[in-house]
Amino acid sequence: MKIVILEDNKIELEEIKKAINIWSFNQDVHTTISAYHSGEEYFHQNQSFDYDTDLFLLDIEMGDINGITVAEKLRSMDYRGYIIFLTANREYVFEGYNVHAFHFLTKPLNKELFFKCLTEIQNRKGPEYYILHDKSDSIPICYSDIICFSSDRHYTTITTLDETHTERTDLNKIINKLPKQFVQIHRSHIINLDCLVSFKNGEVHLRNNIIIPVGRSYLDDFKIKYLRYVTRFERNEEKTNGDTCKKNHKSNRTLV
C-alpha cells in the first residue's frame, strides 16, 4: 500500500508512521510511506502527480494550505483514491463530504480505529469490478467508478464518472451481487454511497451533478444504511472515547 502523510507536527507524524509500520507488519502488507510537513511542500516536490497513491492522510490544520484545500486540489486533479483527515476538531467533518473523505480520525490517534481503516482500504484494493455483458463481450467496470444504476423496463443504464453503459438486465438481478456501498433507493435506481454528496428534501445529490429522488418505500431503509455506512468506524471510536464523545458525534450527523 502506498501512503502519503501530510502532518506538520513532527511528534504526531512519527506516531502515525509507527502505527502504519505496526499494522503493515501484523497484516503482512508491504507499505511505502512518504511524509510532508505541509501542502506547499507536497505540491512543490510532486509537480507531476502520482495517481498510484492508495491513501492520503491529511492533517487539516496546517500552514497556509490546510488539509481540506489539499484534498480539494487532489480531487480537482482527478485523484480517486482514499483520503483520511486527521484533526483535533470535529467541526470540519461536514467539509470533508465534498471531497469524499473515507474517514475522519481525531487526535490523539486511536490506533485500533486507524488499523480498521487501513484494513478496509486494503480489502477494497484489487480487481473489484462489475462485469457488464454486452452481446458476446464482457466489460469490467471498476465499482469505485460507478455512480449509479438506473433501470428502464428491461434495460439498465450504468453511469460512471466518465461515461454510461447500457445492459439488458434489471436491478433485481444486480443488487445482490454488488458491494455494500451500493444501496437501492428507488425501484429504478441503485446508488453508490461513495459518490453521495448530500441528501436533502427527499433527494440524493451524487457526483457529476446527478440528482435522484428517494422512493417513499425505500426512505427508511436508505437512512439506516446510509448512517450505518458513514459511521461504520466511528461507533467503535465512541465506545473508546465515552459518552461525551457519543453525544457530540450524534449532534454532527443529520439527515434532512
Torsion on CA atoms 91, 95, 101, 104, rounded to nearest 10: 0
Band (58; pLDDT cuts 50, 70, 90): very high
Torsion on CA atoms 179, 182, 183, 186, rounded to nearest 10: -130
The whole-number pLDDT of residue 253 equals 34
The whole-model pTM stands at: 0.55
> Does 234 score more than 70 pLDDT?
no
> Does 128 score more than 60 pLDDT?
yes
> Does 92 score more than 50 pLDDT?
yes
Backbone angles phi and psi of 232, in degrees to 5: -60, -30
DSSP 8-state class, residue 100: T
The answer on 133 and 95 residing in a single domain is no
Across the chain, mean pLDDT equals 83
> Does 242 score more than 80 pLDDT?
no
The answer on 111 and 16 residing in a single domain is yes
Domain assignment of residue 234, yes or no: no
> Does 249 score more than 80 pLDDT?
no
pLDDT over 90, % of the chain = 48
Q: How confident is the model over 194-220, as a mean pLDDT? A: 94
The lowest-confidence range among 36-50, 122-136, 141-155, 159-173 is 122-136
> Does 159 score more than 90 pLDDT?
yes
For residues 230 and 223, the answer to whether their CB atoms sit within 8 Å is: no
Domain assignment of residue 235, yes or no: no
Which CB contacts under 8 angstroms, 24+ apart, belong to 123-127? 125/1, 125/54
Domain assignment of residue 110, yes or no: yes
The answer on 133 and 113 residing in a single domain is no
- Tens digits of residue pLDDT in 100-112: 888 889 888 999 9
The whole-number pLDDT of residue 126 equals 52
Domain assignment of residue 239, yes or no: no
CB count within 10 Å of CB 96 equals 21
Domain assignment of residue 189, yes or no: yes
The answer on 199 and 98 residing in a single domain is no
Q: What is the CATH number of the domain that holds 78?
A: 3.40.50.2300
The whole-number pLDDT of residue 10 equals 93
The whole-number pLDDT of residue 241 equals 44
The answer on 206 and 183 residing in a single domain is yes
Tell me how far CA of residue 115 lies from CA of 18, 85, 162, 253, in angstroms.
12, 14, 32, 23
The number of domains in the chain is 2
Residue ending a domain, among 72, 102, 125, is 125
> Does 240 score more than 70 pLDDT?
no
Q: How confident is the model over 156-184, as a mean pLDDT? A: 91
Q: How confident is the model over 54-61, as a mean pLDDT? A: 93
Residue ending a domain, among 87, 110, 125, is 125
Q: What is the CATH number of the domain that holds 181?
A: 2.40.50.1020
Q: Is 64 helix (H, G, I), strand (E, B) or coil?
A: coil
Q: How confident is the model over 111-138, as a mean pLDDT? A: 81
Sheet holding 210-213, edge to edge: 196-200, 203-206, 210-213
The answer on 181 and 118 residing in a single domain is no
The answer on 100 and 34 residing in a single domain is yes
> Does 150 score more than 60 pLDDT?
yes
- Better pLDDT: 27 or 244: 27
The whole-number pLDDT of residue 61 equals 87
Dig out the grid coordinates for 207 from the structure.
457526483
The answer on 121 and 136 residing in a single domain is no
Residue ending a domain, among 125, 148, 173, is 125
Domain assignment of residue 255, yes or no: no
The answer on 197 and 174 residing in a single domain is yes
The answer on 145 and 116 residing in a single domain is no
The answer on 163 and 119 residing in a single domain is no
The whole-number pLDDT of residue 139 equals 84
The whole-number pLDDT of residue 8 equals 93
Q: Domain range holding 74?
A: 2-125
Domain assignment of residue 44, yes or no: yes
The answer on 170 and 121 residing in a single domain is no
